[in-house]
Chain A
Amino acid sequence: MKKMVGLINLDHEYHVFNELTYFRNSASLPFGGRYRMIDFTLSNMVNSNINEVAIFARNKYRSLLDHLGTGENWDLDRRNGGLFILPPDWNDPSDKSQGDLRFFHNNRDYFHRSQSEYVLISGSQFISNSDYKDAFTYHLEQEADVTLITTNVKELYPEHYPYFRVEADQNGRVTEITNDQHNSELFTGVYIINKNLLMRLVDECIAYDKDNFFICGVKNKLDDLKIQRYEHSGYSAFINSIESFFRQNMNLLDAKHYHDLFFGNHLIRTKVSSNPPVKYRKNSDVEHSLLANGCVVDGRVEGSILFRGVAVHTGATVKNSIIMQRCTIEEGVHLENVILDKDVHVSKGQKIIGSKEKPYVVAKRQVI
């Protein structure tokens, strides 16, 4: 059976989540009440029979390392293969490579040693519940050099702006990769490429002093390579700003989206914790919300997402908000359109109201 390795390239991801990414990269941004953004990519990979995954991590990866550990929560703690976290620690004086090409250049061993002939490359800001086995079969059937996973977005939002658009002929062969803002066929950043070709293209890019593998090695080679398109249908989200982060979290309060993302092809895995079930006290009044284990609720929660271990005391109201792990909302507090990062303590009687379009963000570990 043909095999793929996974590569999560975080090198050129935007960290434009203000307070939320001051001390973490966007791959470890909490999402969906219990997960980190990277959980979706990792789960999709391991559930597509990929059991060898490397991560190019350039900066602010302390919390990412803490989250991933040995990879055991994704069944990546293996004797053969498993999880490889590749930070930028290289020391080759003759090295002339730039951008993410330096990662490829300095981690050749990872690709050489792998038994797999194919590589699935992804970022962490495209959220979906995908099984890439079908895309891989398609890649093999088409005898493609590269297969780009695309998705057709119904409604275009500002977060879609930076993503490439794909045009293909009736055989699925990609003819153009553009910035055409009117094209709703978006490249998800996920693609399958033959490993030997990948290494050859890396060398070529470096020889020509380039600094971005995808643009130079794939996008600019449309005529030389057989590049196919494979369309992902079903739930998906692109998250690269506070606004998209807020909107897409809230989007999960729609039962259909909740179901598609969390009970789709497979369950999404994350770092486990030992939190007890949610405790609803006598005065709790909860509706239209997602609650993770370990929460204790005695107040009102409406249209909100509560991560693990959040306490909402009597008489407090949490409305249209995202409350991350272990926050405490004391008595009489009113929160509306707010994002609280982890470990925030909101004292008695405080009132914080953001706007629907621009939620008010409170950084980690603040006492208000």
Chain B
Amino acid sequence: MKECIGMLLAGGEGKRLGELTHHLAKPAVPFGGKYRIIDFTLSNCTNSGISTLGVLTQYSPLELNKHIGNGKPWDMDKQSGVTVLSPYTAKTGGDWYSGTADAIYQNMHFINQFDPEYVLVISGDHIYQMDYQKMLEQHKKTNADATISVIEVPWDDASRFGILNVSDNLRIYEFEEKPKNPQSNLASMGIYIFKWSKLKAYLLEDAHNKASRHDFGKDIIPAMLDDTQRLFAYRFDGYWKDVGTIRSYWEANMDLLDENLSLKSNHKEWRIYTHDSNLPPQYVSQTATVSNSLINSGCLIHGNIENSILFRNVHVEQASTVRQSIIHPGVRIGENCKLNRVIVMENTVIPKGTAIEVDEFQEPFVINQEILGGMLTPAGGESK
């Protein structure tokens, strides 16, 4: 028997990330110069001793499955390490996961194998460093049926989140999804710990409820509250960011450049793990200048980099300037280019002399070869 196993919801299509998730599940989107978004959650599991993990995938899973592989980078290549759970059909039928709760429901037999006392439900699209073991301790101490991790958000933003109203001892008495007049600023982070026996009962009931959307936030949690089950909030006060939109994706990346940020990918005790590329140290030439940036191995820099994040194997030629931008792996930037507030997708080749500059406060611009081609095609014979 395992005390606690993790179920990681990684099927998100991530519609609001536009082109970035065109062929890619949201958790597999590159992040932070070396990682993919899901690496933060996977590393949280490793670092907090959650060694059995089911990863539920659904949308464009190729890259994501390849990335997770046998779980080796996260030390999860063990007998009960990481298992990728995709939708399937069986004698009794089968279907795509219709909601977060349904995804867990359809994989109950996976959880039952380990006969766990508790199940941790997390999702693969948030950037944060959290010790789930501490949350589990509180869950046990309060003898809760469910514990939901919360973070204090600015009052002005509270109406954009799922808000939990709690009593003094953090017991939850109400859950409001995007309330107009929030009574509290404790937002749900989408991280749950359940007593497995309790959750199982609710999942079975929910599965037969035709009116249900089979969602934790919309159905399971409200149903448990209606039955006055013991639900508690767990306070988290570190860095946490949902990278659901282009803007928040860009901001979360830029946050990594902030020296005072509490999130640290080089914490010795809380490393973020991912695949290594075997690429050599980066080369910075005589003509280069680099400041306030993150640059990964295999990069060749001849130009000027400022407030930017460069993934592996990016070449920037002379007299080019890259500012406030995120450059994905394998990108080539020719001479005399100007990029400002741009997200360049994998392997894009930017010809010399290209200038793409986005004004401050405007949404950063995502480009790939296709979009670039469209931009460079002369409209009315404008190009020389």
A residues contacting B by CB (< 8 A) are 32-34, 255, 258, 261-263, 267-270, 272-294, 296, 305-307, 309
Contact = CB atoms under 8 A, between A and B. Distances in A.
Interface of B: 32-34, 73, 259, 265-266, 271-274, 276, 278-297, 300, 305, 309-310
B184 to A, nearest CB: 35
Contacts of B272: 274, 276
Contacts of A280: 290-295, 305
Contacts of B305: 280
Contacts of B280: 32-34, 258, 261-263, 267-268, 290
Given A281-B292, A306-B281, 6 more contacts: A278-B295, A279-B294, A280-B292, A280-B293, A285-B289, A292-B297
B282 to A, nearest CB: 5
Contacts of A288: 284-286
A193 to B, nearest CB: 30
A58 to B, nearest CB: 29
A272 B276 contact: yes
Nearest to A283: B291
Given A277-B33, A291-B282, A284 B274 contact: no
Given A274-B272, A276-B272, A255 B33 contact: no
Given A276-B33, A278-B295, A286 B271 contact: no
B259 A289 contact: no
A290 B282 contact: yes
A262 to B, nearest CB: 4
B295 A277 contact: yes
B288 A286 contact: yes
A276 B293 CA distance: 12
Query: Which among B266, B271, B287, B300 has the highest number of chain A CB atoms within 10 Å?
Result: B266
Contacts of A283: 291
A291 to B, nearest CB: 5
Contacts of B32: 276-277
Contacts of B33: 276-277
17 contacts: A34-B297, A258-B280, A263-B280, A267-B278, A276-B34, A277-B294, A277-B295, A278-B282, A278-B295, A278-B296, A285-B291, A286-B284, A287-B284, A288-B286, A289-B284, A293-B281, A293-B297
Contacts of A290: 280-284
B284 A268 contact: no
